[in-house]
Structure 1
Amino acid sequence: MDSYACEPLVVVTHWVHPEVIEALERFCKCAAPTERDVLPRAEVRTRLGGAAGVVVCMADHVDEEFLDAGPGLRIVSATLKGYDNIDVDACTRRGIWVTILPDHLTAPAAELTMALILGLLRRVGEGDGHVRGGRYAGWRPRLYGATLQDSTVGVIGMGKVGRALAARLKGFGTRILYSDTAPLPPGTESDLGARRVELAELLAASDIVVPLVPLTPSTRGLLDAAALARMPAGAYLVNVGRGSVVDELAVARALDSGRLAGYAADVFAMEDWALPDRPREIPRALLDHPRTLFTPHLGTAVDGVRRKMSLAAVRQVREALAGRRPEYAINEVQA
């Protein structure tokens, strides 16, 4: 165990498992919520006053104002893979490590994507509502959907989650197209049964499109009205990456016109905290549309996975406070 002349304070902005608190308390004082919630930003800023480290989540926006509240911070440890909600440059200028979790989210995110694809194609949400609404009186020739077999799935961004999704899709007899800035190794393409094409071709040829790209200035609104118009009439769109990669209002219009047969999402533009002009709510036109299927950012909402993620984030904090470079650091500062 590392020893400190005075135990540092580490703030955790969101509920974590008791084992995670125990791991933190072996080397620091810990301030964390006891309810399954995220601390309000104002309360986080108050607690940061004497903190040496902070463990953040998707609901936090680490900007200059956030960092001003923690002048003694030495690390921002994120229980995330994507970090568009963290101003990494501002942290670096202040000598604060930023760490992420590059490998813990892959399988759960790919599994949820499969669940949304299948649920959307087979109209599971509508069927569930039909039964619960007391309208079901036995089989009727209604709620016909689509199947994955013999369909073409276009994956935009073939990173770790994209490859994990492709591996799972292969067993369903799908054709897989992908668009990325760099090709996969030939052996990997062959193993996955995937073929690289330009984005325009992917949109035109895919029955189901799944964007899996980080949110950057170049990917914001990537799937806008013009992109949706390139897709075949009756295609499906599934978003588990970042809400603002799609134009949600354009999606609603495409659903109304029949251009899209369905839209599923685990993420929404109103969650993209770093964008000052982000919408503050999910468009009602999407929420009210029957051919949609939504989950509340459940990509990594697997009990065992979240425990492992939080413990990995704690290890990053421990390394930084001991004067070492954390394993998953994405910036360089003076240790």
Structure 2
Amino acid sequence: MDKPFVYVTRRLPEEQLSSLKELADIEMWEKEDEPCPRDVLLEKAKTADGLLTMLSDRIDAELLQRAPRLQAVANLAVGFDNIDVEAAKKQGVICCNTPDVLTESTADLTFALLLAAARRIIEASDWIKQGNWTGWGPLLLAGADVHHKTIGIVGMGSIGRAVARRAKGFGMNILYHNRSRNPEAEIELGAAYTSFDELLGQADFVVCLTPLTEETKHLFNRSAFQKMKQSAVFINVSRGQVVDEQDLYHALVENEIAGAGLDVFAEEPISKEHPLAKLPQVTALPHIGSASRETREAMMRLCAENIALVLSGKPAKTEI
């Protein structure tokens, strides 16, 4: 009897796919750092029983209609806005993501980005590398304190709570806004629930961790930035399209806010010519929120295990 066929849309270490190896025939896109072309993905989907996908892969009605054998899609991410989950359900396809395993690593990166943006870490490092350090000055590359400031977290899920725990260690006042109140965060961390507008007006650091939905697309727009403190720093480690990038650029160049730390962008990858990448008050990272070796390998193993479970007729661990 032929084994099921699973297509993986990036080159991954084979040892992380061990739970699938004996069960299925596995084929991978040849590149690790370049997306699988759409035409290749559509062709492979025709005979695939399982797909291990990235955020850059669009799993939509067009693909699903061409994939009569498809049983499982495992997304190497906590997000799944690249997948038409409703269309998949109608076709009986189980969709999975990788929550929880990346929570702490993403929170580490989020707080590191906040610190880097506040204290101008990247700018200061480049100052030396570009040969500009010729002497000490009392306000040379002076940034902003983080300790005992107010952090406003938009999206108090598991990552938001993990960021709040780090903020508590810095003695920060913690505000949050969410679709619903989070009593756990309020009791454990002393976080205070506020309206979105109140958070914008009070926070020294506004941290966006909300998922991308129809309601949150361009949530951070001209109006939102104008409500923030002129000294505030905006941090985004969620999805690029939650932000109107033109409005953010305007807010920065007009000094309506002091700076930004961005791990995500509306269209990725960006080049050095991207308007936001050219601003010295922007710390820009290439979507590395969960990119520790330990976490990424755990995510790969979870994806492989989810597909193996579905192909074996068992429930997936983390079905969306």
Give the TM-score normalised by the residue count of structure 2: 0.95
User: What residue is the counterpart of 1:27 in the other structure?
Assistant: 23
**Distance change (3 Å), C-alpha of 1:63 and 1:197:** same
Distance in structure 1 (CA, Å) of the matches to 2:70 and 2:273 = 37
Please state if 1:169 is matched with 2:167.
yes
Distance in structure 1 (CA, Å) of the matches to 2:87 and 2:130 = 51
Q: Which of these residues, 283, 286, 291, is aligned with residue 301 of structure 1?
A: 291
Residue 271 of structure 1: how far off its partner (Å): 4.1
Please state if 1:223 is matched with 2:220.
yes
Distance in structure 2 (CA, Å) of the matches to 1:150 and 1:286 = 28
Residue 218 of structure 1: how far off its partner (Å): 0.6
The residue type paired with residue 154 of structure 2 is I
On the 8 A contact 1:248/1:283 being kept in 2, the answer is: no
Give the TM-score normalised by the residue count of structure 1: 0.91
Residue 65 of structure 1: how far off its partner (Å): 2.1
1:225-240 to 2 correspondences below 5 Å: 225-240=222-237
Please state if 1:128 is matched with 2:125.
yes
Residue 283 of structure 1: how far off its partner (Å): 7.5
SS in 2 for 1:269: coil
1:206-217 to 2 correspondences below 5 Å: 206-217=203-214
Distance in structure 2 (CA, Å) of the matches to 1:22 and 1:34 = 18
Distance in structure 2 (CA, Å) of the matches to 1:110 and 1:82 = 15
User: What residue is the counterpart of 2:136 in the other structure?
Assistant: 139
Distance in structure 2 (CA, Å) of the matches to 1:229 and 1:124 = 26
User: What residue is the counterpart of 1:311 in the other structure?
Assistant: 301
On the 8 A contact 1:243/1:267 being kept in 2, the answer is: yes
User: What residue is the counterpart of 2:314 in the other structure?
Assistant: 324
On the 8 A contact 1:73/1:96 being kept in 2, the answer is: yes
1:254-333 to 2 correspondences below 5 Å: 254-271=251-268, 284-330=274-320
User: What residue is the counterpart of 1:245 in the other structure?
Assistant: 242
Distance in structure 1 (CA, Å) of the matches to 2:272 and 2:235 = 16
Distance in structure 1 (CA, Å) of the matches to 2:122 and 2:194 = 32
For residues 70-124 of structure 1, the C-alpha deviation after alignment (integer angstroms, 9 at most, x for no partner) is 2211111111111111000111111111111221121111000011000000001
Instruction: Percent identity, please.
Output: 35
How many residues align structurally? 318
User: What residue is the counterpart of 2:149 in the other structure?
Assistant: 151
User: What residue is the counterpart of 1:18 in the other structure?
Assistant: 14
Distance in structure 2 (CA, Å) of the matches to 1:243 and 1:282 = 17
The residue type paired with residue 230 of structure 1 is K
User: What residue is the counterpart of 1:91 in the other structure?
Assistant: 88
Q: Give the alignment's Cα RMSD to 1 decimal.
A: 1.7
SS in 2 for 1:259: coil
Residue 212 of structure 1: how far off its partner (Å): 1.1
Listed as ranges, the gaps of 5+ residues in structure 2 are none
Distance in structure 1 (CA, Å) of the matches to 2:273 and 2:170 = 33
The residue type paired with residue 11 of structure 2 is W
User: What residue is the counterpart of 2:60 in the other structure?
Assistant: 63
Residue 45 of structure 1: how far off its partner (Å): 1.8
On the 8 A contact 1:12/1:32 being kept in 2, the answer is: yes
Distance in structure 2 (CA, Å) of the matches to 1:139 and 1:14 = 47
Residue 285 of structure 1: how far off its partner (Å): 2.4
Moved more, 13-22 or 95-104: 13-22
Residue 152 of structure 1: how far off its partner (Å): 0.6
Distance in structure 2 (CA, Å) of the matches to 1:162 and 1:221 = 19
For residues 31-67 of structure 1, the C-alpha deviation after alignment (integer angstroms, 9 at most, x for no partner) is 0134423322222222222211000111111112222
Distance in structure 1 (CA, Å) of the matches to 2:2 and 2:204 = 59
Distance in structure 2 (CA, Å) of the matches to 1:114 and 1:147 = 13
On the 8 A contact 2:211/2:239 being kept in 1, the answer is: yes
The residue type paired with residue 55 of structure 1 is L
On the 8 A contact 1:270/1:282 being kept in 2, the answer is: no
Residue 326 of structure 1: how far off its partner (Å): 1.4
Moved more, 209-218 or 134-143: 134-143
Distance in structure 2 (CA, Å) of the matches to 1:123 and 1:189 = 31
